[in-house]
């Protein structure tokens, strides 16, 4: 493992995504177990997509071995396609059930995922209440975060504002192209989504951002080669004082080796 602590970014580079995922999993496990010891709840911000799959697999494994419990865990997912039914195999509701919730002891009422079926004219109120629910629980302890090829975080596409809150957004062409295979073609791929805002994400106490593979290398390198710019929402992470960037060699391949 390589560590780099350039001014603002604390990054770790692992040989491969399996080892990197184990590392992220351990950070989450220890946060939950520490909070349990002092009878405190843990609030997690959860990500979807290909990147966190091994992290969830490992967390389920630790739960099965009795090394962690989700009884006192509350979760808020980053995003969901809109419109989409929770039962749709491509929904993030379905993803979360399949990869985590169906296999652990989290009370269903502790689970929060943006609702892809909400009526169009209720979306604004709904999104405001999503952010309020997070605040009412004392904020997110650990926010898991993947990154899109275009540098998006959650579904905060290029052009998103630093102060943005949870809201309905239009998806970037690149994002839709990346999702098209799952949806059996671009024409069936949703054009919109509900996402936590940039400011919602940045309010988390700790952010763990992970990326695997060379296809993420360009987006990741923007953190090091750019200032804070809405062209690459990942750069907004520089505004947070407790971010850990976890990469494999491929995702770190465009970071200047002088930094490493
Ligand atoms: C998706 C999600 C993001 C995710 C990112 C990367 O579209 N909305 O929350 O982090 O894009 O996805 P993947 O991990 O599949 O590469």
Q: What mean pLDDT comes out for the span 91-120?
A: 98
Tokens 């039914």 label which residue? 85
Cβ neighbourhood burial of 197 (10 Å; 0-12, 13-18, 19+): buried
With residue 95 as reference, give the H or E element that holds it.
Answer: helix 92-99
pTM across the whole model? 0.96
Report residues whose beta carbon is within 6 angstroms of any ligand 1 atom. Answer: 47-51, 78-79, 146-148, 154-155, 175
d(CA 161, CA 144): 20
Give the residue, out of 80, 84, 152, with the most ligand 1 atoms within 8 A of its beta carbon, to mutate for a pocket test: 152
Roughly how many angstroms between the first and final C-alpha of the chain, as a whole number?
Answer: 11
157 is a catalytic site residue: yes
pLDDT of the residue at 242: 96
> Using the 8-state DSSP alphabet, how is residue 219 labeled?
H
Taking only the tens place, the pLDDT of each residue in 155-183 is 999 999 999 999 999 999 999 999 999 99
Q: For the chain, what is the mean pLDDT?
A: 95
Give all strands of the β-sheet with 73-77 in edge-to-edge order.
2-6, 9-14, 243-248, 206-211, 142-145, 42-46, 73-77, 111-112
d(CA 19, CA 25): 10
C-alpha of residue 215 to centroid of ligand 1, in Å: 12
186-193 long-range contacts (CB < 8 A, ≥24 apart) are 190/81, 190/82, 190/83, 190/84, 192/81, 192/82, 192/83, 192/168, 193/79, 193/80, 193/81, 193/82, 193/155, 193/168, 193/169
Find the catalytic residue in 99, 150, 156, 244.
150
d(CA 94, CA 113): 10
The percentage of residues in the chain with a pLDDT greater than 70, rounded to a whole number, is 95
With residue 74 as reference, give the H or E element that holds it.
Answer: strand 73-77
79 is a catalytic site residue: yes
Q: What mean pLDDT comes out for the span 194-207?
A: 98
Closest protein CA for atom 1 of ligand 1: 49
Q: Which atom of ligand 1 is nearest to the CA of 48?
A: 9
d(CA 144, CA 209): 6
Taking only the tens place, the pLDDT of each residue in 123-147 is 999 999 999 999 999 999 999 999 9
Closest protein CA for atom 4 of ligand 1: 146
93 is a catalytic site residue: no
pLDDT of the residue at 237: 97
Taking only the tens place, the pLDDT of each residue in 5-51 is 555 689 999 999 999 999 999 999 999 999 999 999 999 999 999 99
Q: Is the predicted pLDDT of residue 233 greater than 90, yes or no?
A: yes
């Amino acid at each position: 493992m390589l560590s780099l602590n350039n001014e603002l970014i604390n990054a770790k580079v692992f040989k491969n995504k399996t080892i990197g995922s184990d590392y992220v999993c351990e950070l989450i496990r220890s946060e939950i177990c520490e909070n349990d010891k002092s009878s405190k709840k843990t609030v997690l911000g959860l990500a979807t997509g290909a990147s966190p799959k091994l992290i969830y697999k490992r967390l389920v494994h630790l739960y099965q071995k009795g090394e962690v419990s989700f009884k006192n865990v509350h979760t808020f997912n980053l995003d969901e396609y809109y419109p989409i039914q929770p039962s749709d195999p491509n929904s993030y509701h379905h993803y979360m059930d399949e990869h985590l919730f169906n296999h652990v002891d989290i009370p269903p009422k502790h689970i929060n995922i943006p609702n892809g079926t909400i009526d169009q004219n209720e979306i604004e109120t709904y999104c405001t209440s999503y952010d309020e629910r997070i605040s009412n629980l004392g904020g997110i302890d650990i926010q898991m975060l993947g990154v899109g090829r275009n540098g998006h975080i959650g579904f905060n596409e290029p052009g998103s504002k630093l102060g943005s809150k949870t809201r309905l957004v239009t998806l970037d062409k690149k994002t839709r192209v990346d999702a098209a295979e799952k949806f059996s073609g671009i024409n069936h791929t949703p054009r919109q989504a509900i996402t936590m805002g940039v400011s919602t994400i940045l309010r988390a106490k700790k952010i763990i951002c992970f990326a695997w593979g060379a296809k993420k290398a360009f987006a990741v390198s923007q953190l090091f080669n750019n200032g804070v710019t809405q062209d690459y929402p990942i750069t907004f992470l520089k505004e947070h004082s407790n971010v850990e960037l976890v990469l494999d060699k491929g995702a770190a391949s465009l970071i200047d080796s002088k930094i490493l």
